[in-house]
Structure 1
Amino acid sequence: MAKITLTVEPRGKPIRRLPKTLTIALDASGEDLHNMIADVSGSSVHRLRITKGSDRSVVPNAKDTTIDDTGLRESSVIHIKDLGPQIAWRTVFIIEYLGPLLIPALFLFPLRPLLYFNFDTIPAPSDTQLLVCALLTLHFLKREYETIFVHRFSNATMPARNIFKNSAHYWALAGFNIAYWVFRPDSVAAVSEPNPILQYAGLTLFAFGEIFNFNAHLILRGLRRPGTTERGIPQGFGFNMVTCPNYMFEIIAWLGIWLASQLNWSVIIFTLVGGLQMWSWAWKKEKRYRKDFGDKYKKKRTVLLAGIC
């Protein structure tokens, strides 16, 4: 197919060795264009954002989008932006979950005398506190396993500076917040005889939520081939009820931890904050499914919790 010459201009921070023009075939892919710019400029391909000068729309870094598809023509202008240092999404998730994975056991055992020094006596952790610590550890071990072996990511990287913002939610609310308040010597979880109904109901919800959350993640993984960003319509248990059953089962598991903690307020605070964020993400995904698949997709009235929201 014919070749065209594009005018290349930096946007924002100057990029060393960025060429003023670039010749590329119309049947080359967006991925080819990104790789060419990265090669000639010596930049990481993950740091580059390419937009069209005519309307500032993004030229996707994708194998299935050709230069012809983007509407670029002879002498079209493209803007190249350096996004700055990047970090792999997989690494981001590993770091996010590492805090709440380690903090509960640290607070309950080696740091316990330091954290609760103002108590006259610091009793040994109650069975309920040990149970909550075990549930939190299992939950975030599962999260780490899924991050490494199950999840596939649409984008390879994100700006490195965002790691602190992304980690704050889990380290602060799921780590420090829950561990400190649940493991206090005077917390509701410190009782010697917990309510057995709350305890067994909590364990049941936790097991149900974790198992089917994992199942939903396996279904979502099967919709995307390695190295691609293509998506299919998810089907399976839960997907006929809400847009994102993985979020629904996540909330069910956290409600289980809340019950097992004997209704400790710090657990429900984390669950509510996380639930609001997941509700927002779920509606965005519902809108994307409707746009991408049209009449092939059965619209959902509730996206997060069946029959509620």
Structure 2
Amino acid sequence: MAAGNITLIVEPRGKPIRKLPAEFEISLDASSEELYNAFSAASGHSVHRLRITKGSDRSLVPNSSATIDSTGLRNSSVIHVKDLGPQIAWRTVFIIEYLGPLLIPALFLFPLRPLLYFNFDKIPAPSDTQLLVCALLSLHFLKREFETIFVHRFSSATMPATNIVKNSAHYWILAGFNIAYWVFRPDAKAATGTPNEGLVYAGLAIFVFGELANLNAHYILRGLRRPGTTERGIPSGFGFSLVTCPNYFFEILAWLGIFLVSQLSWSVIFFTFVGGAQMWSWGWKKEKRYRKEFGDKYKKKRAVIFPGLA
């Protein structure tokens, strides 16, 4: 064994991995990324499909530029290598998630309208309000697709491919089928030719503000992470001095705007409530992570989404 090199004892965790070496020699100065690349080449699996943990405490050996020495691995240390199964890129996941609610409203409002509402004696043409709601939904999810492709930087490259159905169900069912079916019904409140104009104009104003402010927050978050890294900085800028996740706050505002324009459709507020509850959970996890990661450098927030509330 060369000076500065160590030999690691390699054991599969879970199902056996083809051609995984029983031992592996590596320099203490090498990066853990090199370890992942070596096992990827040996097994024929993508590095994103592999997870390496220390046998001593089962802590993760990250796939990064960190040196083997810094991970605490030493000569004859045992490492466990797990096959996570088929993976799919997070960017692809989001594109698929948002594609459903991007296309479903227009499909429900036009080509599928006679099939969906066949039990009505007469199916009138969509009202101006229904057309407006369809446009707002399309703009919202077009923005989401734009952000996915050009703005967001992901801390994890992939996720298990089997999760795609579960992750997409929230958007395809609640934001797609649920909202489109009920708001575009011939007897929906939005079907009227004389909508409450106060709700329409207030909803439009809130929607535009929420979408633009949300986009701005995403650009701020993008700037905190250098391309190709998982390092993060402390976010600051419009909204971040008030709550942990102003991007979630502005997202909810935009949906409240759609709720008003829809003439207070229960289906829109139901989706907003379910999504808001999930964002509240994510927000508190992020707040705890900021406190742990940045310590006294980070100004703790009592509210993670709604200023002064939660």
TM-score band, normalised by the shorter chain? over 0.9
User: Aligned with 2:206: secondary structure?
Assistant: helix
CA distance in 2, matches of 1:199, 1:58: 51
Report what 2:41 is aligned to.
Answer: 39
- List structure 1 segments (4+ residues) > 2 angstroms apart after TM superposition: none
- What is the one-letter code of the residue matched to 1:280? S
Task: For residue 201 of structure 1, report the CA deviation from its aligned partner.
Answer: 0.5
TM-score by length of 2: 0.98
Gaps of 5+ in 1: none
Report what 2:215 is aligned to.
Answer: 214
Aligned residues: 308
Task: For residue 30 of structure 1, report the CA deviation from its aligned partner.
Answer: 1.6
- Using the aligned pairs only, state the percent identity: 78
CA distance in 2, matches of 1:217, 1:8: 41
Task: Give CA-to-partner distance per residue, 1:84-108, whole Å, 9 cap, x none.
Answer: 0000000000000000000000000
Where do 1:109-148 residues align within 5 Å? Answer: 109-148=110-149
CA distance in 2, matches of 1:40, 1:190: 61
Report what 1:298 is aligned to.
Answer: 299
Report what 1:181 is aligned to.
Answer: 182
Report what 2:91 is aligned to.
Answer: 90
Point out the more displaced range, 221-230 or 65-74.
Answer: 65-74
Task: For residue 70 of structure 1, report the CA deviation from its aligned partner.
Answer: 1.3
CA distance in 2, matches of 1:219, 1:32: 32
Task: For residue 198 of structure 1, report the CA deviation from its aligned partner.
Answer: 0.5
Task: For residue 35 of structure 1, report the CA deviation from its aligned partner.
Answer: 0.8
CA distance in 2, matches of 1:178, 1:275: 16
TM-score by length of 1: 0.99
Q: Does residue 161 of structure 2 align to residue 160 of structure 1?
A: yes
Where do 1:223-262 residues align within 5 Å? Answer: 223-262=224-263
Report what 1:9 is aligned to.
Answer: 11
Instruction: Give the RMSD, CA atoms, in angstroms.
Output: 0.7
Task: Give CA-to-partner distance per residue, 1:254-288, whole Å, 9 cap, x none.
Answer: 00000000000000000000000000000000000
CA distance in 1, matches of 2:43, 2:8: 15
- What is the one-letter code of the residue matched to 1:193? T
Report what 1:264 is aligned to.
Answer: 265
Task: For residue 296 of structure 1, report the CA deviation from its aligned partner.
Answer: 0.4
Report what 2:199 is aligned to.
Answer: 198
Task: For residue 196 of structure 1, report the CA deviation from its aligned partner.
Answer: 0.8
